[in-house]
A and B are shown apart, each in its own frame.
Chain A
Amino acid sequence: MKLNNMILSIAIAAIFIIGIMISDYLGYWQTESLKVPQKISEGEFEGYSNPDDIRGSYSLGDISKSFEINVETLSKAYDLANIIEDPSVFKVNQLEEYYVFDEDIELGTGSVKYFVSLYTGIPYESDDNVLPITALNILKEEEKITEELYDELKEISIDISKYLITENIVSDEITEEYNNDDEDEEYVIKSTTTVLEVIRWCTSIEELEELIGVTEISEDDVIRNICLDNGLSFSEVKEKISISLK
């Protein structure tokens, strides 16, 4: 049996296409993360899920499954219980958009990793961990940390309720549930909103520069970063832009 160019071309393409179709049918064709953190491979905690491998795309539900922490506990730790109907689908990276700080603080994946580590006792090392006071209180109430550690961490914890940006809706599902005003939703300035996006909402880069009070901004710049770089209050700038767009 001889193979020529045509037969080999068809055969090799068919193997790949049919192979993918079969694996898809069998449920093995996953092109997105299974949202399962890696296991620790050695030492005292061998076989346990590694908090360091929690990623921004993981939902509270994913974390709950891997680390056996109630979704309710996680949502209470980040004060989401009253504003999110289904916290199990809330993604860790959405925290950064919910809580916006004027200072150079970021409440996001690192914080969740740290909370999970303290809650489960599985080690995780990082220098840049911000814990909300709500999370710290849970750790104390459930006796996951010592009094000494609680006092130590309390010094650097944050009262996040002051920073919650309730109008800063970040996912489509949540938007639908919590913000029925489509027109307002269209002009929401998020922590990831770029200059280009704002310009698309009927303004010019010059007008925006004048409004923010910063010159030489480029279309790719993120509004929040411009504020941080120039010592401006993101909340105030956000408000100014929102008013000008209405």
Chain B
Amino acid sequence: MKKIKPRNIIQLLFFITVALITLAKNAEELGLSILDSIKGVSLHSICPFGAVETFYTLITGQGLIAKIHTSSLVLFVILVISAILFGGAFCGFICPLGSIQEFVGKLGKKLFPKKYNNFIPYKVDKYLKYLRYLSLLVIVYFSSYSLKLVFADYDPYFALFNFYTGEAAITAILVLVVVLVSSLFVERPWCKYFCPLSAILGIFNKFRIFKIVRNKSTCISCKKCDNVCPMNIKVSEKEIINDTNCISCLKCTSEEVCPIDNTLDMKLGGIK
């Protein structure tokens, strides 16, 4: 039996936590008293991206956009601290939308063992990844302009936990369905091509404190790290894996797929 990794346990715990919080909120609105200890907490209030959406209104003294609370700002600060330390580890360890895509992807891997995550040619893939920045700019612009959470109507994360409540817009549910179906062919398609939060976190990969480092002298260039990377990063061609798409899942490291000890590891400052 395959050993469950600590990362997967953390993913599951955070997924369940968010699901329970949403359930409690909806139960509260229906007048049911279940999970009273976490009632009153909405999905928007525990999403760090809310801080980005309300950034402009906040710095211009207009206060927070409707439905955004200070908890979103707190989470964003924590997120930045974690990103300074570990880059995009939030995406790889905590984000429930990333986790569900990864879970669906496991089925995709069984359906297309060789072709999975390689349907999109590398040349196209490397440009598509810039869509995240466009997505970020569009969302921030329209949220600031309208003073509303315009993205909520298209947000697959919101739809994932609210599809049964009637609160999620049909467009958001459709985006979620497209993302999940795409996950059967491409690993983490939302994270890779559209997620505005991963666009921000990815920047921290350039100067994070704990870096994933490849030891060139012991590397046998087997390219197992390239093949296993969910974000299609050419790990074997880098010494420090500072690609803006890296989610620090550690799949490429010597602890997991790299066959040579002490060759690919996450280290403090990238020191060998």
Contacts and interface: CB of A to CB of B under 8 A. Distances in A.
B81 A34 contact: no
Interface string B39-66: 0111001100000000001001111111
Contact of A38 (B14, B42, B73, B147): B147
Interface stretch (A16-24, A98-106, A201-209): A16-24
Contacts of B77: 19
Nearest to A194: B30
Contacts of A36: 63
Nearest to B81: A15
A8 B67 CA distance: 32
Given A29-B70, A31-B40, A9 B62 contact: no
B65 to A, nearest CB: 8
Given A5-B250, A15-B85, A32-B69, A10 B147 contact: no
Contacts of B250: 4-5, 8
A68 B75 CA distance: 33
A197 to B, nearest CB: 8
B74 A5 contact: no
A9 B60 contact: no
B94 A16 contact: yes
Q: What interface size band does chain A fall in?
A: 20 to 34
Given A2-B267, A19-B74, A8 B248 contact: yes
B78 A19 contact: yes
A168 B85 CA distance: 55
A49 B46 CA distance: 26
Contacts of B265: 2-3
Interface in A1-53: 1-6, 8-13, 15-16, 19-20, 23, 28-34, 36-41, 47, 53
Give the most central of A5, A34, A37: most B CB within 10 Å: A5
A20 B78 contact: yes
Contact of B81 (A5, A19, A32, A38): A19
A28 B74 contact: yes
Interface in B1-52: 5-7, 9-10, 13-14, 40-42, 45-46
A176 B32 CA distance: 19
Contacts of A91: none
Interface of A: 1-6, 8-13, 15-16, 19-20, 23, 28-34, 36-41, 47, 53, 55
28 contacts: A1-B267, A3-B265, A3-B267, A5-B7, A8-B7, A8-B89, A9-B7, A12-B10, A12-B93, A15-B81, A16-B75, A19-B78, A20-B78, A23-B78, A28-B73, A30-B69, A30-B70, A31-B46, A31-B69, A31-B71, A32-B40, A34-B64, A34-B70, A36-B63, A38-B64, A39-B61, A47-B61, A53-B147
- Which 4 pairs between the two chains have the least Cβ-Cβ distance? A19-B78, A9-B6, A31-B45, A1-B268
Interface of B: 5-7, 9-10, 13-14, 40-42, 45-46, 57, 60-67, 69-71, 73-75, 77-78, 81-82, 85-86, 89-90, 93-94, 147, 210, 248, 250, 253, 255-256, 265-268
Given A8-B266, A33-B69, 6 more contacts: A5-B255, A8-B93, A11-B85, A28-B70, A34-B70, A38-B57
